[in-house]
C-alpha cells in the first residue's frame, strides 16, 4: 500500500484561499448590511414626510369646520426648523379685508427663536401685523394657506416654566374674525 502525501505547498494554498474567501465574504456581508440600513433609513424619512404632508392636506380638507387652522403646539429641535401651515378660511362669507396679527409671548430674551409668516419675521416678544394687501382676499367658503417657518438656533435657551406662545388673530376690517394660539416646544 502506498501512502498518499499531500504537499505542504498545496495545503498552504488551500488555507490561504479559504482565508481570502472568508475575508471577502465578511466584507461583502458588512457592505450589504450598510447598504440595506441606508435604504431603510431613507424609506423611513420618505414615509415620515409623506405622512406629514398627508396630515396637512387632511387638515386643509377639514378646514371648513373652523375659521383658522393651525397646530395647537409646534415642536422644534434646537438648531432646526418646522414648517406648519396657517390656513385662514372664509366659511361664513364675512371675512373682508383680512389682516393677521401675530403676538409672541415668552420668546427667549436673547433671541434664537423666530417665526416667519408670509415673509414677516417675528423674532421676540411683541407683535407684528400682516396687512390686508399681504394677506389678500379669501373667497367665500375657501381657505387660503400661508407657509409658516418656526426656526431656532442651537444656542436658544428657553425657561421651562415659560414656554414660547404664539397668538394669531385674524381681523376682518377692524373687527376680530377669529384667533388661535399655539405653544412652541423647543427640544
10 pLDDT band, cuts 50/70/90, is low
Grouping H, G, I as helix, E, B as strand and the rest as coil, residue 75 is strand
- pTM exceeds 0.75 for this model: no
Coil/strand/helix, residue 132: helix
* Residue 167, domain extent: 66-186
pLDDT at 3 over 70: no
Q: Is 72 in the same domain as 1?
A: no
Which CATH number fits the domain that encloses residue 168? 2.60.40.10
Q: Positive or negative CA dihedral for 104, 110, 113, 114?
A: positive
Taking the C-alpha atoms of residue 74 and residue 138, their distance in angstroms, rounded to an integer, is 25
Same domain, 73 and 53: no
Residue 166 has pLDDT above 50, yes or no: yes
pLDDT in tens, 38-97: 999 888 888 877 887 777 666 655 545 678 888 888 888 888 888 888 888 888 888 888
* Per-residue pLDDT reduced to its tens digit, 100-136: 888 988 888 777 888 888 888 888 878 888 887 777 7
Q: What is the largest CA-CA distance in the chain?
A: 115
CA dist 106 and 169 (Å) reads 17
Of 90 and 7, more confident = 90
The total of structural domains in the chain comes to 2
Q: Are residues 9 and 73 in the same domain?
A: no
Specify the pLDDT at position 99: 86
**Cα(80)–Cα(82) distance, integer angstroms:** 7
Whole-Å CA distances, 163 to 49, 108, 109, 143: 27, 9, 12, 29
Q: How many angstroms separate the CA atoms of 125 and 143, rounded?
A: 28
Instruction: Establish how many alpha carbons lie within 13 A of residue 30's alpha carbon, considering only the half-sphere containing its beta carbon.
Output: 6
Amino acid at each position: 500500500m502506498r501512502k498518499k502525501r499531500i504537499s505542504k505547498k498545496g495545503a498552504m494554498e488551500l488555507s490561504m484561499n479559504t482565508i481570502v474567501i472568508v475575508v471577502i465574504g465578511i466584507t461583502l456581508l458588512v457592505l450589504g448590511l450598510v447598504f440595506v440600513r441606508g435604504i431603510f433609513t431613507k424609506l423611513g424619512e420618505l414615509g415620515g414626510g409623506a405622512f406629514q404632508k398627508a396630515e396637512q392636506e387632511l387638515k386643509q380638507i377639514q378646514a371648513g369646520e373652523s375659521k383658522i387652522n393651525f397646530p395647537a403646539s409646534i415642536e422644534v429641535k434646537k438648531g432646526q426648523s418646522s414648517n406648519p401651515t396657517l390656513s385662514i378660511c372664509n366659511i361664513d362669507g364675512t371675512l373682508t379685508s383680512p389682516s393677521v396679527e401675530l403676538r409672541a409671548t415668552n420668546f427667549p430674551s436673547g433671541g434664537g427663536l423666530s417665526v416667519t409668516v408670509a415673509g414677516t419675521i417675528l423674532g421676540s416678544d411683541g407683535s407684528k401685523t400682516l396687512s390686508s394687501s399681504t394677506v389678500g382676499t379669501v373667497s367665500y367658503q375657501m381657505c387660503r394657506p400661508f407657509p409658516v417657518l418656526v426656526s431656532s438656533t442651537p444656542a436658544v435657551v428657553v425657561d421651562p416654566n415659560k414656554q414660547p406662545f404664539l397668538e394669531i388673530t385674524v381681523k376682518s376690517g377692524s373687527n376680530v374674525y377669529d384667533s388661535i394660539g399655539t405653544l412652541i416646544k423647543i427640544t
